[in-house]
Structure 1
Amino acid sequence: MTRLTVSLLISALLLSGCGDSGWNPLRWGGGGNRPETLAPEGGYETVGDSRPGIPQIISARWEPLNEGRLLVATGIAPTKGYHHAELVTLRPQPQGRISPDPDGVLRLRFVALPPPPTDEAARLPANPAVDSITVALTLSNTQLAGVTQVEIAGASNAVTLQR
């Protein structure tokens, strides 16, 4: 019995080396339609975020976390009503992944949507003391491994933080 099992096992191993032929037992169950790449169908999204940059960045700072750092940026808009503020990568990247450029600089944009022109908030000037916009981005130690500095760009200015 063991001779039969060993001989069948050796035969299966030899046939599995047949590559893409029909003799390969690993392809008998319909496994012949393997994708050539792991990229999603249609490729990765290459269009960046279309929201405009926040008009003025006031400050940026690091806050320590157990497994990384929290990047906190504060900006001010000319009018009240800016919403959906976020820090996004300047270079489009897959969802949930953040990596620096080859030079070790993580380039981010501070973006927010302005209020619609017909909205009453669009006519009211913003008060810097109470109408500042604060956003945060959590970065793990793994994501920070290749980062030497972070550049956050708005519509009119940019802030640089060293790691």
Structure 2
Amino acid sequence: MRLPLTLALTAVMALTSCAAIRESRFNPFNWFGRSQERQTDEFGVALPDEQRPLVAQVLGMAVEQTPTGAIVRATGLSPMQGYYDAELVARPVDENGVLVYDFRLMPPPEPKPVGAERSREVTAAAHLSHIKLEGITQIVVQGAENARSSSR
């Protein structure tokens, strides 16, 4: 009778301690914090072969854990309605471990009304594997007017 009770109590104690590990800095999925706004000129010029312009403004970004790595998700504001083909285009990781994504999207073929800000929001995401995350210390999503970054 004592052995099952001891095993049950040990299992309960182990499961309740998982929440502490999930919230700790030792958990590799907690490496990236909330994003912070940055200036775009900190990260250099765009890749020359890209035809799509940068999103006007990066409103927010998050680095979310997945079983296979992380997803970088960003929301941007286009100058008018009708922009499409949004993508986070990665630049090479620099020597300091900074990965910069250019938030690119295609303008509409003909001018559209500006519309409300909420109707002009566009979201794009990119996946990073655990292997790619190894050398990365900071992730930046860059738009035309601003950038947002998240660091370990």
What TM-score bracket applies, with the shorter chain setting the length?
0.5 to 0.7
Deviation readout 1:72-103 (Å, 9 max, x if unpaired) = 00001121010111000234xxxxxxxx2111
Give the match's secondary structure for 1:150: strand
More helix by share: 2
* Amino acid aligned to 2:69: G
* Amino acid aligned to 1:103: N
* Inter-partner Cα distance in structure 1 for 2:66 and 2:145: 30
Which has more radius of gyration? 1
- Return structure 1 stretches of 4+ with deviation > 4 angstroms: none
Q: Number of aligned pairs?
A: 106
Preserved contact between residue 72 and residue 137 of structure 1 (Cα < 8 Å): yes
- Whether 2:94 is the aligned partner of 1:101: answer yes
What's the CA shift for 1:47? 4.9
* Inter-partner Cα distance in structure 2 for 1:89 and 1:64: 18
Give the match's secondary structure for 2:118: coil
* Amino acid aligned to 2:74: A
Structure-to-structure mapping, 1:77-88, within 5 angstroms: 77-88=78-89
Give the match's secondary structure for 1:123: coil
Preserved contact between residue 54 and residue 104 of structure 2 (Cα < 8 Å): yes
Root-mean-square deviation (Å):
1.6
* Inter-partner Cα distance in structure 2 for 1:126 and 1:105: 35
* Inter-partner Cα distance in structure 1 for 2:143 and 2:49: 15
Which residue of the other structure, out of 133, 149, 152, is the alignment partner of 1:160? 149
Preserved contact between residue 81 and residue 119 of structure 2 (Cα < 8 Å): no
Identity %, equivalent residues: 34
- Whether 2:134 is the aligned partner of 1:141: answer no
What's the CA shift for 1:152? 1.2
Give 5+ residue unaligned stretches, structure 2. Answer: 1-46
TM-score, normalization: structure 2? 0.64
Give 5+ residue unaligned stretches, structure 1. Answer: 1-45, 92-99
Give the match's secondary structure for 1:143: helix
